[in-house]
Amino acid sequence: MSVNFGRQTASGHLHVPSESKEPYPTDVLEQLSLEAEQVIARYPQPRSALLPLLHLVQSLDGYITGRGIDFCARTLDLTTAEVSGVATFYTQYKRHPNGEYTVGVCTNTLCAIMGGDQIWETVSEHLGIGHDETTEDGKITLERVECNAACDYAPVVMTNWEFFDNQTPDSTVQLVDDLRSGAPVAPTRGPSRVCSFKEVSRVLAGFTDGLADEGIGAGPASLRGVELAKREGWTAPGEESAASVDAQPSATADGPGGGLAAGQRTSVDTPANEPDERPGGQDAQEQAKEDDK
């Protein structure tokens, strides 16, 4: 199966390349089927195994191929449309050949104002590719990514979902150059090396590589709040206060002793919308019908 990297057209995000529908060789299909059985055995319903099976396809093909969609559909007794619907919903599933390393620059709010936007512009220009595009050598797929819950180390860059904390435009250019040349690259936290996209996809399919507990997870900045709470003796509400809340009379819309101010309502008191009810109540519905005419 030939692989074309490089720039993507808009339709490239929606349609898998026709050559990716070439069937798997018999020996590859046998091994894939054996591993799919192991994945499916973890779930009460076979169809629940779809997400890890899509990762398994990516671990083999490097993206969600047409033959991979066929395989998942046949294995899980789903339609190819159902499998495609899931594969196009989640951004971790790639609809065209992905690079060996997905480099994600966080440009969400905190990282952006801490320098993420400059990192993005510098690296995108350096590599000559935009979002979800891959260098011609197939090494780097560049992405703008949303918050990685690592704002305490902003601006953050991810490489195959490993953290590179407190980055700068220069350090990120060095990172992608090292990845392309094959120089050793170590994340700031976690394991001592970055696995390939295919290797990581296999882990996401549920086949461990033994690296999950390697290195530190939460660094000093992430633990500062916990240390401060320990020093000051602050604790979260414990069982005692939870029990006293349970012991209170049940809340009513305006009854005394329910823990609510007079006139306050709980969500329990609020009737749910009817399934086909338009928002805004009867008057708004009537108005909407008039507007529809």
Contact 185, 192 (CB under 8 A): no
- Closest approach of Cβ 189 to ligand FES, in Å? 13
Peptide bond into 279 cis (omega under 30): no
Report the residue number, 220 or 238, with the smaller CB distance to ligand FES. Answer: 220
Phi/psi region, residue 113 (left: phi>0; alpha: psi -120 to 50; beta: rest), is: alpha
Report the residue number, 108 or 252, with the smaller CB distance to ligand FES. Answer: 108
- Closest approach of Cβ 155 to ligand FES, in Å? 7
Q: Quote the CA–CA distance of 293 and 203 in Å, as a whole number.
A: 55
Q: Quote the CA–CA distance of 279 and 257 in Å, as a whole number.
A: 33
**Distance, CA of 281 to chain centre:** 37
291-to-276, 285, 287 alpha-carbon distances in Å: 18, 10, 6
Q: Quote the CA–CA distance of 223 and 216 in Å, as a whole number.
A: 12
Phi, psi angle pair for 34, to nearest 5°: -60, -45
Q: Quote the CA–CA distance of 274 and 95 in Å, as a whole number.
A: 38
- Closest approach of Cβ 222 to ligand FES, in Å? 11
Could you list the residues that contact ligand FES (CB under 6 A)? 106, 108-111, 147-148, 150-151, 154, 156
- Closest approach of Cβ 219 to ligand FES, in Å? 13
Report the residue number, 156 or 179, with the smaller CB distance to ligand FES. Answer: 156
- Closest approach of Cβ 156 to ligand FES, in Å? 5
- Closest approach of Cβ 91 to ligand FES, in Å? 16
Give the other-Cβ count within 10 Å of 278's Cβ: 14
Report the residue number, 14 or 223, with the smaller CB distance to ligand FES. Answer: 223
